[in-house]
A and B are shown apart, each in its own frame.
Chain A
Amino acid sequence: MSGRTRDLGLHLLDRQIVDPDGHAVGRVDDVELMVPEDGSPPYVIAMLTGPQALGPRLGGLLGRWVVFWSHALSRGSEAGPGRIGMELVTDFGTDISVSRTRLELGVHANEDRARDYLVGRLPGARGAER
């Protein structure tokens, strides 16, 4: 899927990322650009997801506040936002499909925390999948 020209704002930013099992991975909160030294146009090398990517796009005091708290709550276990290389993208549809599961991508610390400390402790949390 590399090498094609797309409208970044229209086809990538703010889209939902889903894994091969159809589970939500996150949103494309920001992207990482590579600027070639030979002066050719910059291209996207990775999608960034999570509050530490969203914060800078919100900008201002609110944005800094989001980044600060997300960093504080993560207790240093993850530095910077979740990063998914463009080579993992398998389809640009309404959602962006990637070839690794959300566990393999390791961008799911907050979901895991919500499960481990709150939701997963309540009776019936792992009820049969319907």
Chain B
Amino acid sequence: MKRLLGLTLGILTAIGGFVDVGDLVASAVVGARFGMALAWATVLGVIGIMLYADMAGRVAAVSGLATFDVVRQVLGPRVALLNLLASMAVNLLTLTAEIGGVALALELASSVSYLLFIPVVGFLVWLVLWRLPFEQMERLFGLAGLALVVFVVAVVRLHPSYAALWHGSVHPKVPNGEGHPTYFYYAIAILGSAMTPYEVFFFSSGGREERWSERDLAEERANVFVGFPLGAILSLAITATAALVLLPQQIQVEHLDQTALPVVVALGKVGLVVVILGFVAATGGAALETALSSGYAVAQYFGWSWGKFLPPARAARFHAVLLVSVVAAMTLVLTTLDPVKITEYSLVFSVVALPLTYAPILVAANDRRSMGEHANGPFSNLLGAAFLILITVAAVVAIPLMVATKAGQ
């Protein structure tokens, strides 16, 4: 149990990348339209984020620098500011979507309009940011998010042909009636979402919150190698349930309740209860991750004191950023913007934020003076450079594809 509790930072970080509200719907959309034909994009994404989260975590543990410390030092004030603005846009849009996502999950449980829940959800998110110690927060939301394992159980209970699922995954084919641009738009959206920059802001700063040092590198690595694959498995399980139940019935997915539908088919009411719990924990966890990432990034860029380990009065500007972020997100979601669409549009800002975040991490992980024997080896560098090129190209292609396919419609 103690070992599991040590892994909750990785699990909570991965929730934001693989099963936040945008992913919960997108994974089901993809399953209902393409079957398992986009599983490779999730696998590619999990390799990329594991590689870079490990570098960011290692730098945080060994040289004591969180990711935006690194961004500022490597890129200087001007380019780092560009990254900061783009990252803040991604964070704020995602936070808006997640607050809406928690409220939508509560609507699913109560049939009361999600808009009525927004003030309560926003206040509770802020209260956790304000009062709950970091480790208790990551344990509560990381472990509760594991309720989404119900999707794996649902896959088993649906008694699928595993051979067919496997075949669909390793021999991807664009189904009749779907265009290649749409297919590749979703591939890029999955990759971009899996590698979204707030994960490394949160993971590296969380490592500092837990006061990681060189001695904790084994724990850091365990978090990377358990947390992210777990997130990817949950995401693939959601896709598989949609492929098994929704695809044959030609049901199009647009909302969170349709993501839950296959579980209800497989497991009945009990399944629905667990799914809603999982939705609340995952979207709530992603809300905390994105809000904190905003605070971490701004405070590190300007050199302010930051962290939940300090009483708020000792990190006043950090907490002011958290408060303003939550209030701004609540206001945005009350304009009745569709929370799921919001996460899709945040991809536009990722175009700037992704390369400007991952390139500095690669540089810092290679600094032998501060990293010593823990600097990157040639294998990590080769793979890291390949992913840097891949995400940059994908990010540049994303916007024309988004326009051409009307965001995958």
Chain A interface residues toward B at CB < 8 A: 13-17, 23-27, 29, 49, 54, 57-59, 94-95, 110-112, 114-115, 118-120, 122, 124-130
CB < 8 Å: which of A24, A25, A27, A126 contacts B311? Answer: A126
For chain B, which range describes its interface: under 10, 10 to 19, 20 to 34, or 35 or more residues?
A: 20 to 34
Tell me whether B218 is interfacial, beta carbon within 8 Å: no
A26 to B72, CA, bound (A): 13
B 288-322 to A, binary, CB cutoff 8 A, 1 in contact else 0 = 00000000000100111110011111101101100
Assess A14 versus B72: contact at CB under 8 Å? Given A23-B314, A111-B304: yes
CB < 8 Å: which of A17, A57, A111 contacts B317? Answer: A111
Q: A27-B303, A119-B313, A119-B320 given. 12 additional CB < 8 A pairs?
A: A24-B303, A26-B302, A27-B302, A54-B77, A57-B77, A57-B78, A95-B64, A110-B317, A111-B305, A112-B316, A114-B316, A127-B131
Q: Which residue of chain B lies nearest to A127 when distances are taken between CB atoms in the complex?
A: B311
Is the CB–CB distance between A58 and B81 below 8 Å? yes
Q: Which residue of chain A lies nearest to B310 when distances are taken between CB atoms in the complex?
A: A129
Is the CB–CB distance between A16 and B69 below 8 Å? yes
A25 to B128, CA, bound (A): 27
A128: chain B residues at CB < 8 Å are: 311
A5 to B310, CA, bound (A): 36
Interface of B (DSSP majority class):
helix
B309: chain A residues at CB < 8 Å are: 130
Is the CB–CB distance between A124 and B77 below 8 Å? no
Please name 5 pairs of A and B residues whose Cβ atoms are closer than 8 Å in the assembled complex, sorted by A. Answer: A24-B306, A27-B72, A94-B63, A124-B312, A129-B310
Q: How near does chain B come to A98, taking the closest CB pair, in angstroms?
A: 13
Choose among B78, B316, B370 the residue with the greatest number of A CB atoms under 10 Å from its CB.
Answer: B316
Tell me whether B76 is interfacial, beta carbon within 8 Å: yes
Within 8 A of A (CB), among B255-270: none
B78: chain A residues at CB < 8 Å are: 57-59
Is the CB–CB distance between A124 and B131 below 8 Å? yes
A110: chain B residues at CB < 8 Å are: 317
Q: Which residue of chain B lies nearest to A24 when distances are taken between CB atoms in the complex?
A: B305
